[in-house]
Structure 1
């Protein structure tokens, strides 16, 4: 009898433990899914029913989302990208738009940037990467720019192949109240260039995090950073500022609701307003009226340009417009957005241009910013300007940076290293096809502790036949070769006559090389890099009828030396040239 009671008791306890275990699994799934990856099978039904997103997803839906997350979560370039398509070079093809397509102004800018880039091809058979014509930027189902039937349209593409070798751009995902990362269609094996990317769903070295930018962001050029030369001092009127919305309900409300705790009204100005949206008065709290009153007392641009640090808390989504606004104003971003993958983090070292904070440690932010020394503040502000000008000041730069990163992955044997990306002039100007060694680029000399050579290569452009030893070109070669700054002489033979034998040229104390130009009688031939011959940083470009003495050539050498001492050189994309063309009769 006692044995039966013990057996019954053990069975009841085991059953209770099993129920508790199942309950724990449900809770774990609920807590682990604050954001969802854009691969949800149910969305082919939701394309026509945006009101379904007003309701919180059920545990069953979360389970389905989680299954789809891990379905392609392991995608990397080695497993989800077909490198064989790129054997003829890195080319990008844009699908032709379909009849009735409505494309937003922002997506038009992205497509225009690709079409005008050196990567674009109109031939899909030559393409390494494919870009959709359908607008996928705004996937908020309550938005007027939300495009219906995206899933069916992309799956009907003949080369879709589960998204392999495709690039998808997205700025907004999810909708109220959860603002998940769902796009309403499966991205499959495509590369996702996404704003507000969550590290939990981000596929490292495959997806690309891009900044959130407004529809007014310029297509090309872009506004320069705001600091003037007189604004070199690291100290500014304010230590830390922020001005933006405060959310009374829904996701993204915690951090902004707590900002008043560290606002002191003196050097830390953190202003929020709950006066936004249609029903804000229904949800207003006891602080709303006072916050709205203080909010109107300060001009946002005046705060931006007169503060050392700018707070960048998360909004409804992880990204915020405040990020780019702070960079442009040389206001050091203090990022409070746990789980956000910063833009272009694969190549940009954000420790050099921002302060990465923790939303849970908001009260420590003032002491953290005050602990940063003046030299460090100045260095951070300088880096914000470099990053803004190099990668973020226009839509074209954002798009080109995205494509250059993918190209570096595809052509990894000639990819840029982090030095080229994080120092002037930046990865968009230092082409790895020229060299992957930073020491080959004169603008990195000071960083590497290397001094530029004070010698030059003289390139003599010749278009007339060599008649005798008294020819003007011979006299010019002899005078130039005697200069102590001349490392070598290169004669660019662009004459229609055959190249004279070596014994017809004068003997010189420096190497003399005669090469046939690739384009006859074309002035541009002198600017061809000739990397296998020219080894100096500076080039003295001369016409054959130039009349110069050795002393005059030495004068040019002193110019080279002064440029080297100032650590400045003329910059071109493929080679650093300091060109002076003498054409004196």
Structure 2
């Protein structure tokens, strides 16, 4: 009798261990699948939350990134519109169909500079590049300069063609508290985006243009009055870029100033710096300081 009890106890123990082993494995595998499914659901929930918080993403049908995120010059630009002998830029009329387009003083400067340049044409058939007369610089809905109904305005443009060969200027996008970079409130299509504070995640290399964030009181042009002749702007100059200043061999700003020499070619791009800055510059000088100081003094 005791033998039977011991045998039954051993059998039950083996069964219990087998159940724990195989059942635990299945349970663990099930938990792993559940965790993966939960992660996908969590992503979907946040994805839906992002869409709900952005009217722009809703209009795109839920695409987190713009539809033409992969645009490049060879895929989204029509070179047949560009004359090899001359490069021309067309700006749309400011009030198509008698509908006024409010334009900020800052965007008006952008338009004026282009119109006064030798690249401007009032004939769209001769243009390689098209610029909107719709102010898209400030796309913060809470801003006084925010232009409404941009999608409907763009659809009325005769030469829009899904944005191909167009360039869209932007300084601010999104609104508090998210400031979504891609939320311009309209689909830019295949247009080139000239934008300030653009991240590397959205910048399309070789297609988009990164521009500085300039303020509204920035002058349209520099130089003495009368230096700019109508239809001959920008002037043909010997130098494209010039800078002369202190290099900051240590402290705040040193990384930026120390990298300027990469742009210097000694011909049309001249950037010269000196290490002679502060009391301890000699103690922190590097191997380039001798050459840089001599070039700066020259």
2:121 corresponds to 1:121: yes
Name the counterpart of 1:12: 27
Instruction: Tell me the equivalent position of 2:219.
Output: 218
1:115-264 alignment to 2 at 5 Å? Answer: 115-181=115-181, 182-221=183-222, 234=246, 240=251
Distance in 2 between residues matched to 1:188 and 1:42, nearest whole Å = 15
Q: What is the 5 A alignment of 1:166-565?
A: 166-181=166-181, 182-221=183-222, 234=246, 240=251, 309=253, 371=284, 373=286, 376=289, 379=292
Contact 1:80 1:164 in 2 (8 A): yes
Q: Could you give the per-residue CA deviations for residues 113-151 of structure 1, whole angstroms, max 9, x where no partner exists?
A: 111111111011111111000000001111111111112
Q: Are residues 118 and 234 of structure 1, via their aligned partners in 2, closer, same or farther at CA, if it must alter by over 3 Å? A: closer
The TM-score with structure 2 as length reference comes to 0.64
> Does the CA-based 8 Å contact 1:41-1:185 persist in structure 2?
no
Higher relative contact order (CA 8 A, sep 6+): 2
Distance 2:194 2:113 in 1: 15
The structure-2 alpha-carbon separation of the partners of 1:13 and 1:180, relative to structure 1 and needing over 3 Å to count, comes to same
Unaligned runs of 5+ in 2: 1-14, 225-243, 264-268, 274-282
Q: Secondary structure at the match of 1:114?
A: helix
1:42 aligns with 2:53: no
Matched with 1:103 is 103
Residue 36 (structure 2) pairs with residue 21 (structure 1) = yes
1: CA distance, partners of 2:291 / 2:210: 27
CA shift in 2, pair 1:4/1:126, >3 Å: farther
Which SS does the other structure have where 2:122 is aligned? coil
Structure 1: how far apart are the matches of 2:157 and 2:245? 56
SS at match of 1:112: helix
Unaligned runs of 5+ in 1: 45-60, 224-231, 242-308, 312-331, 336-344, 355-369, 384-566, 568-585
Once residues 245 and 158 of structure 2 are traced to their aligned partners in structure 1, the CA distance between those partners, rounded to angstroms, is 58
1:177–1:91 CA distance, 2 compared to 1 (3 A): same
Q: Secondary structure at the match of 2:121?
A: coil
Distance 2:289 2:188 in 1: 41
SS in 1 for 2:185: coil
**Runs of 4+ that moved beyond 3 A:** 1-12, 22-31, 38-41, 232-236, 238-241, 332-335, 370-380
State the superposition RMSD in angstroms.
4.4
Structure 1 distance, partners of 2:104, 2:36, is 49
Q: Report deviation, 1:10.
A: 4.5
How far apart are 1:16 and its partner, in Å? 1.9
TM-score, length of structure 1 as denominator length: 0.35
What SS does the corresponding residue of 1:42 show, helix, strand or coil? Answer: helix
Number of residues of Structure 1 aligned to a counterpart in Structure 2: 235
Aligned equivalents of 1:127 and 1:206: distance in 2? 18
